[in-house]
Chains A and B, each alone.
Chain A
Amino acid sequence: MNITNKEYGEITKRRSPNTKAGLSFTKAFLFGGAICVVGEAFLNLYTHLGFTRIDSGTLTSMTLIFIAAILTGLKLYDKMSKHGGAGTLVPITGFANAVVAPALEYKTEGYILGVGAKMFTIAGPVIVYGIAASALYGILYYIMR
């Protein structure tokens, strides 16, 4: 029997289950929302302590990064994200996990070429394209303001 790639693709598609959207959506919403609530609590705390709005925001980010990094070290963040999906991927804690996990993983290849070089294998593109987009915005803003 001969079969075309198109027919094969159709069989594959029919036989491949999709993620149970309802459940994954609910979990992503709950985890993501909860992490933002924790962020909001720190934001209020730092504002209450007398920091400026910008500094409070910066401190909040640093605090969340700190917590996520420790949770990654304790192997708890990946357990959380098994349920959280995008809810643990999209917040800044997911960004911290994306940097800390390879740093920890590649320790076996040494601190320079392992930890140092591999740290941004996942998060690198985020910084590159974020910075590039913001620089482009800066140039346009300079011309048009």
Chain B
Amino acid sequence: MGRFIKGGTVEMYNSPSVKAFAAAVGKKEGDGPLAKHFDYIGEDITFGAGSHGKDSWEKAESVLQQKALSLALRKGDLGENDIDIIFAGDLLNQCVASGYAARDYEIPFIGLYGACSTMAESLALAAVFIENGLGGNAAAMTSSHYCTAERQFRFPVNYGSHRTPTSQWTATAAGCAIVTPRMPESPPPYIYSVTFGRVKDYGIKDANNMGAAMAGAAYATISTHLTNTGKTIDDFDYIVTGDLGLVGSEVMYDLFDKDRINIKKKHKDCGLMLYDLETQDVHAGGSGCGCGAGVLCGYFMREISAGKLKNILFTATGALMSPTILQQGESIPGIAHAIHIGNG
């Protein structure tokens, strides 16, 4: 049984094992620096979801999520019936990418909304679920798609709108991780502790500067996690954030500087790793649920599994707003959840 510490942290005594993980991405992501770490790179942005002229990007995103799930199942040598529950979410209204992905499977399904923090949210819930002996295998998965996010949150894709330098590029990517109770022979990665974050709003209103709006939540959750578990940043190889991008990362460094913590030397941001910022024209970096999910399930899980990394604190951040409420003049609240993943 895990121990719940006041402040949102759960310590796992049995440290559940991530039995299998997979990342499926689109072509642009497959052209980026992490290409060789992905399990699937789709050449066609519709991922075969529809025929010519009738393609739907929403359905394409579901197909991409299914790819990640089916690849993870295959890598873990698992069947559909072996999975006791799926925790999944995405950016779309009513979480349709996840719901429609799950309708082809006979697996109990919990739909989540944590915006771009969903990979951490779903993985943390899956870990808590398994830690407490509630099942044998729990899947955590999430996705995002450039075109679905663009048309829901900004403009039609072919509209010639101007992107500001602080804007980020929604990743077309999905990730899936399957968590299972740790046995003596269970291979890493293992999950040691998680911290569920609080919603933090520092009054940022610029929807083209999400990283900055979420940096405060990342700072708060990382600090809380370190305090609650009695660890320092030196206990980790990397403090990994989901999609703070160039601006959000800098804002977070400034916040930690006030506590005299130099987090910059330990920090990696999935949004800055997924693309080549010089050549791929993504402005301040990648974003979206799939950004953190793809880089975690594609790159970091593999590195931990291979023993190249020992401990990371994966902290995915999300902006909990909608275009409607921003039009009403509200600011952008951020959320972050942290997960300590390692191989010890």
Contact = CB atoms under 8 A, between A and B. Distances in A.
A–B direct touch, CB within 8 Å, in complex?
yes
Interface residues of A, number: 37
Contact of A12 (B156, B162, B165, B204): B204
Contacts, number: 98
Interface in A57-110: 72, 75, 77-78, 80-82, 84-86, 88-89, 94, 97-98, 100-102, 104-106, 108
Contact of A15 (B159, B164, B251): B251
A89 B162 contact: yes
B158 A101 contact: yes
A5 interface: yes
A112 interface: no
A75 B157 CA distance: 9
A134 interface: no
Contact of A102 (B55, B156, B202): B156
Nearest to B212: A12
A135 interface: no
Contact of B158 (A12, A77, A84): A77
B166 A9 contact: no
A42 B159 CA distance: 25
Main DSSP-derived SS at the B contact region: loop
Interface residues of B, number: 34
B144 interface: no
A86 B162 CA distance: 8
A88 to B, nearest CB: 6
Contacts of B202: 3, 5, 8-9, 12
Contacts of B276: none
Contacts of A89: 160, 162
A136 B158 CA distance: 34
